[in-house]
Structure 1
Amino acid sequence: MEFSCLPPPEMMWGDVDGHHKYRIGEMPEDGRLCIASLEGKHGLQLCVRGDGEGSDNGWVLERRIRMKKVLDAIPSLPKDPLARHFRLWLGDMDPGRTGRVFINTMGCGNFSYHMETGKLECLTTEDGMTFGHPIFAYFSAPESCSA
């Protein structure tokens, strides 16, 4: 097996001072390697591996989603950008290829955000409790599978 080191895209480090939060995953459509970041004024950025025009360390910006209005809908999340930065992070990317990312907050709940529809859903259990941290977006094997 051969390993390599892939530096993250420089574009994601624009206005961040060493406290950058990102996650690695697969694109929902085709399984390409991607990296996502949820930072300040840039919102949700999603880059994929590629050599095309604008390539940055071998990454190409696939989409950028402004998240201010979406995150403003979370009532207990601070409105101050600096306080907000320290209270939220991108928890995971959905390996089930549904186009969702998981957004975690410190004390304000955990959420699922669908990148295509723009829908933000609070992750709660059947009894109304909020899912804890960490959330790992992996699926259990069907009952018919045995070890």
Structure 2
Amino acid sequence: MIKEILPRQAKNLQAAVETMPADKFSFRPTEPQMTFGHLVAHMIDSNYYLCAKASDTAQPKIEPAKETDKDALTAALKASFDFCTTSLAKVDDSKLGDTIHAYGGREVPRAWALIALTNDWADHYSASATYLRLSGLLPPTAQPKK
């Protein structure tokens, strides 16, 4: 199921990041909130972490992009979804009950990573859509069909 969800989420999240102008990557709705660029960096980190955990694949070492560098962040987000596509193709359903260590060292079943991943994609798109709308832009799924 997640392999069917991935292409749509990747397309929408990448389109949201591409829609935001480069000069708005430092935008934050309120002072305590993260900037849009930080949100994108968080998406990248989450993709690598959760897709590696779900697939029992080594998480690659990546050089973090500057949070105001739209081109680098856009390329890094695409690379993270490419990693997810490759690694999730290797998920072994018989191992989804195996124990893994999640954030903070918590022990959870491997299936947790898949559930967390789909939740993250929905949350990240929702946040991106909010940042876009606050910047006077329509998120990709709200744009008229071309």
Q: Shorter chain as normaliser: what TM range?
A: under 0.3
Point out the structure with the larger strand share.
1
Larger Cα-atom Rg? 1
TM-score (structure 1 length as normaliser): 0.23
Point out the structure with the larger helix share.
2
TM-score (structure 2 length as normaliser): 0.23
